[in-house]
Amino acid sequence: MTATHARDAAPAHAEPKASWAPMVGLFFAQMLMSFNVAALPVSIGGMVEEFDVPPTTASTAIVVYGLAVAALVMVGAKLGQRVGWVLIFRIVVATFAGSSLMMLFGPNVYWIIAAQVVAGASAAIIVPSLVALIAENYRGRQQATAVGSLGSARAISGVTAFFIGGALGTLIGWRPVFGVVLGIAVLVFILSFRLRGDRGDSGIRIDLVAAVLIGLAIVSLTLGFNNLNGWGVLEATDNAPFSIGRISPAPLLVLLGIVLGQAFFLWTRRRTKQGKVPLVSLQVLGKGSERAAVYAMFIVVALEAALNFTVPLYIQIVQGRTPFDTSLAMMPFNLTVFVTATLIVRFYGRFNPRTIGVAGFVLTTAALVWLSFVVTNNWETLPTILGLFVFGVGQGALVTLVFNVLVTAVPKDLAGDVGSIRGTTQNLASAVGTALAGALLVGILAANISSALTQNTYLPEELVDEVSLENANFVSNDQLRSLLEGTDATPSQTDEFVRINEEARLSALRMGLLILAGISALAIVPAARLPRYRPGEIPEPQNARK
């Protein structure tokens, strides 16, 4: 059957409408994971105070959650295919609820860390389950709308978690916010009985070699990128756990991750040629348009992570304000992503994926360039809000679009593989985006301060050496004044140091945004390789593959 005949045989308008009740449960399942992730940073301060541990120990809970998801998501997809998506979905939602109970009643920080390992392992199966169950329950425009709602759930969860977590943390304590997570998990479990799915295939075997290779690759890449700032981009810092010939372990872990990733692909191709079931079918990435969708997804998620790192850095660290202030500053962005991710499917009948993809990256590029020119030390200015709004439109449209391209391009039985590709790509892109933003901003800041101090003739050289400002990270004006109180700096010299630091910070921010804009502009290349079809012209994946 040709693609043309498939188009004629199954026009989009002939598809029966399915009930949205199953999608309500899947929407809240995405909220469950996103709310948990967003609640963790808000709870760090309370954990530190209650358990009397350093912030780095408490933040380990965030790290282990992300690592568990990224390392196990491909295994999770195969478990779903073997056991059956509805059954495995209910099991892991129940274990996620168990992790919330551990968060509510855990007696020490190690229970908290273990709870997030359980939550991450559960999410590693929920992520591909969402895609597979959408493919099982919806078709055509309804499927596109359902996929778009997952992006909406992520955005709205971040906003509500900041507000609810901040309010509960201030009035009661950090633990009650995970009572909300528990409540969402119970609701999802109840709604899961409205889902339709297959019974699974017990004959499917999990490729353990591939699971180990991709797991170690993702862990190495994530740890490497996340610690580029702390351990050193090239030369090892004092915070590095070890060094090899003074080389930082961070780039070595990135290199190791790339090597292990290539070994995974080689092994998977070999297993496929032997007629054995691979851990993930590379058929998902068989076409150039599908690979372009993955590249575009990686870049847009990395850009989102970079922006989500940059804004809190300036508001909380530089301006010394609260997480609640951060959530208010990011409100235009988060709400815009939420609305756009939901509504973008209405444009699929008028514009093809290639047009929307290119337009999306044009918007994110224009927004980042605009922000680099208008941003000041006050994020709440109207021009800044406008820039965040435009970026949110582009980002919301792109995340939904590229996900839809992958889901509609493969047979229904490979939907779980699409989910695992999505989970791996998003987790890795988030780590890379955060690390890239941190390395850029800190590196540019150090260069700016060093240049300004070298050209400054007012500040004595011995005082400059004593303060060593070019080796400092981002500090607020108050922190810098406190640092200078322990030196021989006069009030006018203190003011000069503050001026240099203030100008260097703002310049680093603007330059970093411009570089991110350049990366966004480069992403137009893979976006231009997305398919040109519209919903009524999508060929049946089974026929398209033959």
Distance CA 529, CA 357 (A): 9
224-252 mean pLDDT: 85
- Interhelix angle 491-522/288-312, rounded to 10 degrees, is 170
CB 210 within 8 A of CB 268: yes
Q: pLDDT tens across 4-28, in order? A: 444 444 444 455 677 888 889 999 9
pLDDT tens track for 96-142: 999 999 999 999 989 999 999 999 999 999 988 988 888 888 877 78
Whole-prediction pTM: 0.79
pLDDT of 320: 67
> What's the rounded Cα separation, in Å, for the pair 294 and 296?
5
Q: How confident is the model at residue 269 (pLDDT cuts 50, 70, 90)?
A: very high
DSSP string, 149-198: HHHHHHHHHHHHHHHHHHHHHHHT-STHHHHHHHHHHHHHHHHGGG----
Tens digits of residue pLDDT in 20-79: 888 899 999 998 998 888 788 777 778 888 888 776 677 778 778 888 888 888 888 889
Q: What is the mean pLDDT of residues 224-251?
A: 85
pLDDT tens-digit readout, 426-477: 878 887 887 788 778 878 887 888 888 778 777 777 777 766 665 556 667 7
115-125 burial by CB neighbour count: b if 16+ within 10 A, else e?
A: bbbbbbbbbbb
**Residue 235: helix, strand or coil by DSSP?**
strand
pLDDT 10s digits, 325-347: 766 777 778 788 878 877 887 88
| pLDDT at res. 111 | 93
Residue 379 has pLDDT above 50, yes or no: yes
**Given phi > 0 = left and psi -120 to 50 = alpha, else beta, which region is 84?**
left
Q: What is the DSSP letter of 16?
A: P
Residue 235: strand pairing partners: 247
Strand partners, 244: 247
Cα-Cα-Cα-Cα torsion 408, 411, 415, 420, nearest 10 degrees, comes to -100
Residue linked to tokens 């059956």: 84
C-alpha–C-alpha distance, residues 100 and 120, integer Å: 12
Residue with tokens 């998620």: 301
User: DSSP label at 276?
Assistant: P
CB 176 within 8 A of CB 105: no
pLDDT for 457: 72
